[in-house]
Amino acid sequence: MPDVTAESFPASPTPATNGTRPLRWDLFCRVIDNYGDIGVSLRLARDLAQRGDAVRLWCDDLTPLAWMQATPIDGLRCLPWADSEQAAPGDVVVETFGCELPARFVAAMAARATAPVWINLEYLSAEDYVERSHGLKSPQFSGPGAGLTKWFFYPGFNERTGGLLREPDLIENAAAHDGAAWLAERGWAPAAGSPTGSGQPGEGRERVLSLFAYPQAPLDDFLEALGPGWLLLLCPGAPQTAVPPLLRRGQRAIALPPLTQNDYDRLLWSCDLNLVRGEDSFVRGQWAGQPMLWQIYFQDDGAHGPKLEAFLDASLAGADSAWAADWRALSQAWNGLSAWTPACAAALRERPAAEAQARAWRAKLSAQPDLVTALRAFAWRETGLSS
């Protein structure tokens, strides 16, 4: 873990890409009830640092970093939230997901001769409001930040949003990855000579899926629809104890230890199907270019339903209509929004259509600017520090 006692910005390991001095970023994150917030914040902080900027990540719970990112990152310091009240703000301040900055830090922002760029990085959604809200500003008329301006930055799935987190070499690394060898090195290799995920023998090995899910996931129905010939790699969480008693004939499961973010990416690249949840793994599942089933974060007011439909509308556009209807039915059932039907099992059997759409969707997203590129361009414009 990086030293968390110093208040100064870390030295930048490389010159900034535009030839000027590196920007200094303060990122704030609160860990709510899962690891999605800190996962997104860490990926953002690491990507900024690796592009030559200096970053401080302030968090109210640093313990997840012990397994998410166990080694130091040049250009990044991970610091306790409380220590920010004695810190001098940098050039850009990002509050992730409306976490609300400490009042003393906001007052220090307002006291700077040149105010920092203040950005609220919002949650990811494919809904229409994202395009309308991205880039809007909110002048602060009262409180410790009076006189400052907060900007709203929305990740998204097209050029009218802030884009998605994507490191410059991500797609190339995924393409070069040897999934079979990586799984074998860890003792998670599929068995040879087993039925395929379609239930038909002959392709020579089990299919492999990764499963990262919330406790309310309908595991019994899913396993029935899945059929034989699958090895389930269970990420830490409730499914590690819930799945084994529910396995059908021809299905196996292995409980995985906590993985670093880099290893989790490699797990996704190695699997034939990825079940992901929340936001961080959701984005990484799309970059894997493999069929992906998303369990959206449940909301009591039902807001997760339209959010899921908006994503399905975007990601299934242009797909074979019969398969897309089946995959929509599967996604709705997996999220408790509709009943399990034969269409759900049909979606899992139609692998060629699922694989083709996953790659087409990734290619479409890859053609758009990534989130860090968009954030840095916005920050340089608003700070006026670029040459």
Tens-place pLDDT, residues 292-340: 999 998 887 878 889 999 999 999 999 999 999 999 999 999 999 999 9
Catalytic residue selected from 26, 37, 280, 326: 37
Q: Is the pLDDT of residue 40 over 80?
A: yes
pTM of the predicted structure, to 2 decimals: 0.92
Intrachain domains 24-154 and 170-366 with the same fold:
yes
Tens-place pLDDT, residues 115-156: 999 999 999 999 999 999 999 999 999 999 999 999 999 999
In this prediction, residue 132 carries a pLDDT of 96
Q: Is the pLDDT of residue 197 over 90?
A: no
279 catalytic residue (yes or no): yes
309 catalytic residue (yes or no): no
Q: Tell me the CATH number of domain 24-154, given options 2.60.40, 3.40.50, 1.10.760, 3.30.60.
A: 3.40.50
In this prediction, residue 237 carries a pLDDT of 94
In this prediction, residue 16 carries a pLDDT of 52
Catalytic residue selected from 47, 122, 279, 370: 279
Q: How far apart are CA 111 and CA 148, in angstroms?
A: 10
Q: Rounded mean pLDDT of the chain? A: 91
Q: What is the CATH T-level fold of the domain 170-366, as seen in this structure?
A: Rossmann fold (3.40.50)
SS3 sequence of the chain? CCCCCCCCCCCCCCCCCCCCCCCEEEEEECCCCCCHHHHHHHHHHHHHHHCCCEEEEEECCCCCHHHHCCCCCCCEEEEEHHHHHHCCCCCEEEEECCCCCCHHHHHHHHHCCCCCEEEEECCCCCCHHHHHHCCCEEECCCCCCCCCEEEEECCCCCCCCCCCCCCCCHHHHHHHCCHHHHHHHCCCCCCECCCCCCCCCCCCECEEEEECCCCCCCHHHHHHHHCCCEEEEECCCCHHHHCHHHCCCCEEEEECCCCCHHHHHHHHHHCCEEEEECCHHHHHHHHHCCCEEEECCCCCCCCHHHHHHHHHHHHCCCCCHHHHHHHHHHHHHHCCCCCCCHHHHHHHHCHHHHHHHHHHHHHHHHCCCCHHHHHHHHHHHHHCCCC
User: Where exactly are the structural domains of the chain?
Assistant: 24-154, 170-366
8 Å CB contact between 83 and 49: no
